[in-house]
Amino acid sequence: MSYRDCLHTFLTVYRLGSQLKAAESLTMTQPGVSQHLKMLENYLGKPLFMRVGRKLEPTAVSHQLALNITDALDKLDDVLCTMKQGTKSLSGDVYVGGLSEFFGKVVVPHLSKLSQYDIRIRFEIDYSTLMPRLLNNEINLAQFVEYVTHPQITIEKIYHQKFIMIGHPKYKKLINKKALDRGDISCLKDLPWLTYNETLLFIKQYFHTVFECEFNSTPKLIISDLYAILDAVKTGLGVTVLSSYFCQEYLDNNKVVVLYESKNAPRHYFYLGWKQGALRDPKLKLVYDLIKEASAQSE
């Protein structure tokens, strides 16, 4: 038994959070997985995992070991996978989670290349559960609107646009640009604000960056659907802050207008996340490449 085998077993357990799942993934017995872990622990002289109820929690040593060996083992596996005859085929389902609005506007129009492969992308739209679903292998790739940190997840910035404050043209006359330029936001407080959720997604960051203050108004409408928010703005129900990519068509048609131009408007970044080692699967790597390409073409 080589330490390379033990390290590969350890990394699989670390990523899946379960000896049983690791055994199934590696086509091993659970006692075999335990033996590999025990060999490493004896060599290091420290425990790698602690049992907390039914969960297997990595120790600090485990996190450090995974960080140090991941790139090297993944590169080695990539070489072997590439050279192996009959490697995994470019077919099957790929589950991608995130905001439907981002996929609809940015990604989907550029996925025609998938037609030459037997790959089906299944979009899972439930932003609040992205991280646990990614960790539980229920989705393969996840699109985040903020940078997230987790030892088992790799995060990469894939897209950005700027935030803009928009509204129906009728609200333009209520905006005092000179007052806003000097930091007086009183003209904004009584406007009917529309927001995606209770965390004031987009609006809060816009106020912090542009006006250097908190957003203290009570939203008139909270609805977790950016398309519905944009339609509500178009009909004159209220004002909001959105990414420029998302409402560009409405801006071009003058159905909505930018209420205030700011040189220091915050950038809206999108991130793509996946479990470490997941991109060794050729079909996941292909979808990852297509999403990155689509994002680059849409900026």
**One-letter identity of residue 229:** I
Shared domain check, 282 and 138: yes
Mean pLDDT across the chain, nearest whole number? 85
DSSP line for 12-37: HHHHHT-HHHHHHHHT--HHHHHHHH
Among the residue ranges 96-100, 109-113, 118-122, 270-274, the one predicted with the least confidence is: 109-113
State residue 298's pLDDT score: 67
Instruction: Tell me the H-state helices in the chain.
Output: 3-16, 19-26, 30-44, 60-83, 100-102, 130-135, 177-181, 186-189, 203-206, 226-234, 244-252, 282-298
Tell me the CATH number at 45.
1.10.10.10
What pLDDT does 241 receive?
A: 94
Question: How many distinct structural domains can be found in the chain?
Answer: 2
The token pair that represents 159 in the structure block:
């897209």
- Joined together, the tokens standing for residue 204 give 């809060």
**How confident is the model over 137-146, as pLDDT tens digits?**
889 999 987 8
Q: How confident is the model at residue 277 (pLDDT cuts 50, 70, 90)?
A: confident
Q: Are residues 154 and 61 in the same domain?
A: no
Question: Which of these three, 26, 53, 83, is where a domain ends?
Answer: 83
Pair 194, 221 in one domain? yes
Which string of DSSP letters, residue by residue, matches 181-216? HTT--HHHHTS-BEESSTT-TTHHHHIIIIISS---
Q: Could you tell me if 11 and 121 lie in one domain?
A: no
Six-digit token string for 139: 């989705």
pLDDT of residue 87: 42
Query: What's the predicted TM-score (pTM) here?
Result: 0.56
Mean pLDDT of 148-168: 89
User: pLDDT (tens digit, 9 = 90+) per residue, 16-34?
Assistant: 888 888 888 788 888 889 9
Final residue before a domain boundary, out of 35, 57, 83: 83
CA torsion angle for 143, 147, 151, 156 (degrees, to 10)? Answer: 60
Same domain, 43 and 76: yes
Give the pLDDT of residue 80. 59
Q: What is the pLDDT of residues 65-94, one digit of tens each?
A: 888 888 777 777 665 554 444 345 577 888
Residue 88: DSSP 8-state = P
Among candidate residues 113, 82, 155, the one with its CA nearest the CA of residue 290: 113
Question: Do 8 and 64 belong together in one domain?
Answer: yes
- Do 111 and 194 belong together in one domain? yes
CA–CA distance, 33 with 1 (Å, rounded to integer): 12
Find the range with the poorest average confidence among 75-79, 102-106, 193-197, 254-258.
75-79
**Which of 33, 61, 83 is where one domain is finished?**
83
CB atoms closer than 10 angstroms to residue 67? 11
Quote the CA–CA distance of 66 and 73 in Å, as a whole number: 10
What residue numbers bound the domain in which 58 lies? 3-83
Based on the domain organization, do 14 and 124 belong to the same domain? no
Instruction: Please compute the mean of the pLDDT values over residues 171-175 and round it to a whole number.
Output: 94
Same domain, 39 and 115: no
**Structure tokens belonging to residue 172:** 């333009």
Q: Which residue has the tokens 């009959």?
A: 86
Contact call for residues 81 and 106 (beta carbons, < 8 A): no
Tell me which DSSP letter residue 256 carries. S
Residues 17 and 120 both lie in one domain: no
Rounded CA-CA distance 97/89 in Å is: 23
Q: In terms of domains, do 70 and 120 share one?
A: no
- Same domain for 59 and 195: no
d(CA 122, CA 103): 11
CA of 255: how far to CAs of 166, 193, 235, 249, in Å? 10, 17, 8, 9
CATH of the domain at 185: 3.40.190.290
Least confident interval from 125-129, 134-138, 152-156, 205-209 = 125-129
Residues in the chain: 299
**Cβ contact 271:156 at 8 Å:** yes
User: Residue 265 gets which letter from DSSP?
Assistant: P
Residue 40 CA to its chain's centroid (Å): 33
